[in-house]
Structure 1
């Protein structure tokens, strides 16, 4: 039985955990199913607490080309609400962020295996057995691994026979779509330091600048709308442009970087891993620990927070149930707050009431931002 800790998934949660454990001298094997840098469906918003964690992990966001985000514009049809964030956030493509973290994990001493997908995970009387499949120029090879401890950081992807215990939700049937765009030269200034959120029934669209002057569009729509558009990307964009004149104007000045968008579905927004579902020596991180409604912009922060927490508990001799209880305590309130906001903003009446309240109490939007952060009060002390 190997004394390595095996980490499944090389996103922010998995790579951060690998860095933390390796720095403590623990043997780590990090398995990432993709063979190299790649894009993922993500708003790519790096909140203050996430930026602090990344700094501790050795990443210089400015040097990587990340864009600072200080302002928010929210649209409800033709109505606009603007406010300053209570902190400086950042925006960086997941392709660059994940690559930098994986590189840092390797430098810290982790055994990083790219292009390696875990096909089977099963318990043994000594720990865990994993069957991994690797892809190379020579073809596919299967490898059997053993470990005493496994960190499950597979993100939105479910591992066979280890699905999250998800309760039914009316937000489970949403489809997430993402595209990078190049704005026209005249329009580049309008994106400086600003994230936009466009609200509509059942979903929302987020636009924000990323590295090299590009803009990331990431949005959620219902399956019914997607089907009504025939699953056609151009028809979906046309539908999105009709949600407001503001969105129509944005799309008219943006040139897509890719032929087709990235897409994901079946995301269990509002999910929180219960300590009662804990499995000995299995630590669930990132989206496997909790899935906050994406408009809150704290998914990357949750990934890094759970990675740090799991690594600390593991290196100090704690068990997985202790970790899952601590994570549950930290994540429940921000996720629940974000769920309430998502529910309110998903319908016209709720959005109208929210905009009215924000105008009556100008500090309310900033307060809601703070109430959907994970570990922010600790970071800002």
Structure 2
């Protein structure tokens, strides 16, 4: 059975839903395909910088975000070997600060807003094939023994860089010793000041902590595969997550103090390897948003921001055209890629430099030495990472 739309989006994370809502607001018929059932937990730092709260308003979920998210993050810190170092979080426009909301809640809010805006949601369906066409491309989706063909001139990949599959936009998984693997857990209790978000630096990895919704303290971190092997040898616990957690507690007294008396809320999550870098935003007549378009080392805590903004930017570029023939799609693809790089390239490169420094031999100690002498560098780093960079203003066509 064939179903026809203006756009088909594969993936219902923040990038996919932002693109879907933006296109639906233009009067386009949009379908989202999502393989997972919600609510779902994700390996994610969960922090959303203040500039993105305005975007959440445009997406229709700003009020719910404010009602449920954790406290405002007004300070940043470095937790490494030695004493903690703190600095103010830079502010963007207005008086708001960033906050954290669990992906098990945020993703659901955004998908509900997409449904309310007229987006057709296929969940839990899996996209198994994309066949490009001149006028319309075809996406094959499957659920158990049922199969559908979704056809549209615009196809958007929003499935992330970790998603396995045989789509032309799925990334090949290659296991290398220097790969980074990600872990995440929530804790109840703890002693972290509620307005503080520390960067955690330890041998072979880095991470972050922040208070999220429902008094959950979120801890997420990445560690190089070779460092993980060493950490597991040094730990009596058999799991990779617990071994790395013990490794962090040994090297970061600030983390040990912040989690003193806290209890693990739910199981550890693991994902990866992460694939930082800038990829093609439009290729083979498929648009890419979120991590599949480009990915930053999580050390700068900009994953959700980049996902939301990339989806919204794509919708705005496509909105410059009344109809989406092959010429219009190519023009939109070029414009989208240009705006994407202007918005995100600097923070991706900065994150790569910081990640390399933090995980190098004695890198965490060097970071602590420099930041101890110049605490303002924490605020500067937060600003350079994009936490105060506004989105360009767009005017899109409204399709009647």
Give the TM-score normalised by structure 2.
Answer: 0.84
C-alpha contact (below 8 Å) 1:18/1:110 kept by paired residues: yes
SS at match of 2:246: helix
Distance in 2, matches of 1:168 and 1:252, equals 37
C-alpha contact (below 8 Å) 1:331/1:374 kept by paired residues: no
CA shift in 2, pair 1:349/1:243, >3 Å: closer
CA shift in 2, pair 1:3/1:103, >3 Å: closer
Match of 1:146 in 2: 151
Shift of 1:32: 1.1
Distance in 2, matches of 1:144 and 1:375, equals 42
Match of 2:345 in 1: 332
68, 71, 75: which one pairs with 2:75?
A: 71
SS at match of 1:191: coil
Distance in 1, matches of 2:137 and 2:292, equals 18
Shift of 1:21: 0.7
* Structure 1 outlier segments of 4+, above 6 Å: 164-171
Q: Deviations over 1:104-163 (max 9, x none)?
A: 1111111112201111112134332211112xxxx5422222221111111232552424
CA shift in 2, pair 1:182/1:39, >3 Å: same
Distance in 2, matches of 1:215 and 1:152, equals 31
Shift of 1:225: 3.8
Q: Deviations over 1:195-225 (max 9, x none)?
A: 1222012211211111111111111112234
C-alpha contact (below 8 Å) 1:273/1:328 kept by paired residues: no
C-alpha contact (below 8 Å) 2:309/2:391 kept by paired residues: no
C-alpha contact (below 8 Å) 1:92/1:211 kept by paired residues: yes
Match of 2:328 in 1: none
Whether 2:280 is the aligned partner of 1:274: answer yes
SS at match of 2:67: coil
SS at match of 1:373: helix
Q: Relative CO higher for 1 or 2, CA cutoff 8 Å, sep ≥ 6?
A: 2
SS at match of 1:66: coil
Match of 2:115 in 1: 106
Shift of 1:170: 7.8
CA shift in 2, pair 1:92/1:149, >3 Å: same
Match of 1:127 in 2: 136
Distance in 2, matches of 1:367 and 1:161, equals 40
Whether 2:252 is the aligned partner of 1:238: answer no
Match of 2:289 in 1: 285
Q: How does 1:160-171 map to 2 (within 5 A)?
A: 160-163=166-169
Distance in 1, matches of 2:151 and 2:77, equals 50
Whether 2:383 is the aligned partner of 1:370: answer yes
Match of 1:117 in 2: 126
SS at match of 2:356: helix
C-alpha contact (below 8 Å) 1:8/1:152 kept by paired residues: yes
SS at match of 1:309: helix
- Give the alignment's Cα RMSD to 1 decimal: 2.6
Whether 2:261 is the aligned partner of 1:253: answer yes
Distance in 1, matches of 2:242 and 2:19, equals 39
Match of 1:176 in 2: 182
Match of 2:213 in 1: 211
Distance in 1, matches of 2:112 and 2:42, equals 18
Distance in 2, matches of 1:47 and 1:164, equals 28
267, 271, 274: which one pairs with 1:264?
A: 271
SS at match of 2:201: strand
Distance in 2, matches of 1:165 and 1:360, equals 41
CA shift in 2, pair 1:307/1:49, >3 Å: same
Shift of 1:233: 4.0
How many residues are paired up? 368
SS at match of 1:177: strand
Distance in 2, matches of 1:272 and 1:171, equals 21
SS at match of 1:7: strand
Q: Deviations over 1:283-308 (max 9, x none)?
A: 10011111111020111111111111
